[in-house]
Amino acid sequence: MRILVVTQYFWPENFRINDLIAELKQRGHELTVLTGKPNYPLGEVFPEFRRAPSLFSNYEGVEIFRVPMLRRARGSVRLILNYLSFVLGGSLWGPWFLRKREFDVVFIYEPSPVTVALPAILLGRIKKIPVVFWVLDLWPETLAAIGVVRSPRLLRWIGHLVQFSYNNCDIVLGQSRAFIDGIAKYCSDKSKIRYYPSWAEDVFLDNASEKANEIPVRGRTFDILFAGNIGEAQDMPSILSAAELLKHDDGVRWIIVGDGRKSEWLKAEVERRGLAEKVLLLGRYSVDRMPSFYAHADALLVSLMSDAVFSMTIPGKLQTYLMAGVPVLGMLDGEGASAIRQAKAGFTCPAGDANGLAAAVKQLAAMPESERRDMGLNGRRYAQREFDRDMLISKLEGFFEEAILSYRERETI
């Protein structure tokens, strides 16, 4: 198949779409990526890209077209302008960049924002091909939950935008089963909605990784690793409150690998609360380095704010955590917590429950190492069954074929 991928985020930014593109290319498909300039999550264009942008025009043999856009910056207004600038750049420059290319299907990757669908739908119309939309973040609910948009009128307008986007795609994929109902509220044709979760990257199957030198060895500690985006949704205040509750437990250490909009706040709070010796902030690393950090972990931490929309979400990192074969601590509600419990892969507490998280840490740390190892293996078996990479990417190929066939049948009527 000839697949056009429209995504606001792409390599060298660290998103699962990079892995998907590489695998689809390896399976023999022709792919083209329409994206922006790499500046996620801090709003700074990557220095290596600024120095030599031509080196980032091809990924694993896949041609990349990058449209003009405003970089991210602090504040809701600038973030919204960043989103809208990609719509404008993709809609104006995308058709020109791709004017001589033919495709069979457009695929939209949407961890956020939903506006990424607009240039993709336009290109689908121009090229007369179907559009498949992978919804990883529910709008407008997420915007309201994290406080980016507070105006009821603006949220209603965004709801109309979401409705337009879903209704003008041929297949809409939801990242959790609970997402199906959330999508259905804005999609007039429920038959086009499918469940399609993220997968666990195979790189985390390797338990033989050498430990990262960036983490100092301090005798016998119980190391809790949080990896990924540091934003509003991850509820860092509750994590720090749990760390404070265990501040005088010399055996517990918190390791945070990643960055995001709350990074500077987190750094300042760690200092203010006197947690610098207990909470290690290591910054962002590429995905290929992550197994070396996981090798330090006695537990992996996943958290989300307390909100209805987040209870419907399976954080993308959870599949990776489970595949890593390390016990999981979850401070979240709904689908994510349910997956941890079903897998028998660790302990959970309600979203925002710092006391519950601290208690879960103490309970897990007190368990025999053999029992923790069994928990980790439970998680890996669950991930291999529910979130297997090869199985899920094959399923996505099937969705593409379904969309193409259905579209062609409609066109011949």
Report residue 204's pLDDT band, with 50, 70 and 90 as the boundaries. Answer: low
Which residue type occupies 392?
L
3-state secondary structure at position 257:
strand
3-state secondary structure at position 368:
coil
Mean pLDDT across 206-214: 75
Cβ(379)–Cβ(321) under 8 Å?
Answer: yes
The pLDDT assigned to 183 comes to 96
The pLDDT assigned to 150 comes to 81
The pLDDT assigned to 205 comes to 63
Q: Would you say residue 25 has pLDDT above 70? A: yes
Render pLDDT for 6-23 as a digit per residue (tens, 0 to 9). Answer: 999 999 998 999 999 999
| Structural tokens at position 58 | 């091809």
Mean pLDDT across 262-275: 94
The rounded distance, in Å, linking the Cα atoms of 252 and 154 is 44
The pLDDT assigned to 193 comes to 98
Mean pLDDT across 221-239: 94
The pLDDT assigned to 78 comes to 83
The rounded distance, in Å, linking the Cα atoms of 68 and 168 is 25
The pLDDT assigned to 302 comes to 97
Q: Would you say residue 207 has pLDDT above 60? A: no
Which residue from 321, 310, 352 is spatially nearest to 224, judged by alpha carbons?
321
Residues of the chain above pLDDT 90, percent: 79
Mean pLDDT across 217-229: 90
pTM (predicted TM-score): 0.88
Report residue 249's pLDDT band, with 50, 70 and 90 as the boundaries. Answer: confident
The pLDDT assigned to 74 comes to 72
The pLDDT assigned to 410 comes to 85
The rounded distance, in Å, linking the Cα atoms of 47 and 52 is 9
Give the mean pLDDT of the chain. Answer: 93
In the sheet that 328-331 helps form, which strands lie side by side, from edge to edge?
Answer: 279-283, 252-257, 222-227, 299-303, 328-331, 346-349
Render pLDDT for 331-354 as a digit per residue (tens, 0 to 9). Answer: 999 999 999 999 999 999 999 999
Residues across the chain: 413
The pLDDT assigned to 75 comes to 73
Cβ(289)–Cβ(308) under 8 Å?
Answer: no
Q: Would you say residue 5 has pLDDT above 60? A: yes
Q: Is 201 left (phi over 0), alpha (psi -120 to 50) or beta?
A: beta
Mean pLDDT across 288-294: 89
Render pLDDT for 141-178 as a digit per residue (tens, 0 to 9). Answer: 888 888 777 888 989 999 999 999 999 999 999 999 99
Q: Would you say residue 203 has pLDDT above 90? A: no
Q: Would you say residue 76 has pLDDT above 90? A: no
Residue 245, φ and ψ in degrees, nearest 5: -65, -30
2-199+388-412 maps to CATH 3.40.50.1360: no
> Is residue 50 exposed (0-12), middle (13-18) or buried (19+ Cβ within 10 Å)?
exposed
Domain boundaries, the chain: 2-199+388-412, 202-386
The pLDDT assigned to 41 comes to 82
202-386 maps to CATH 3.40.50.2000: yes
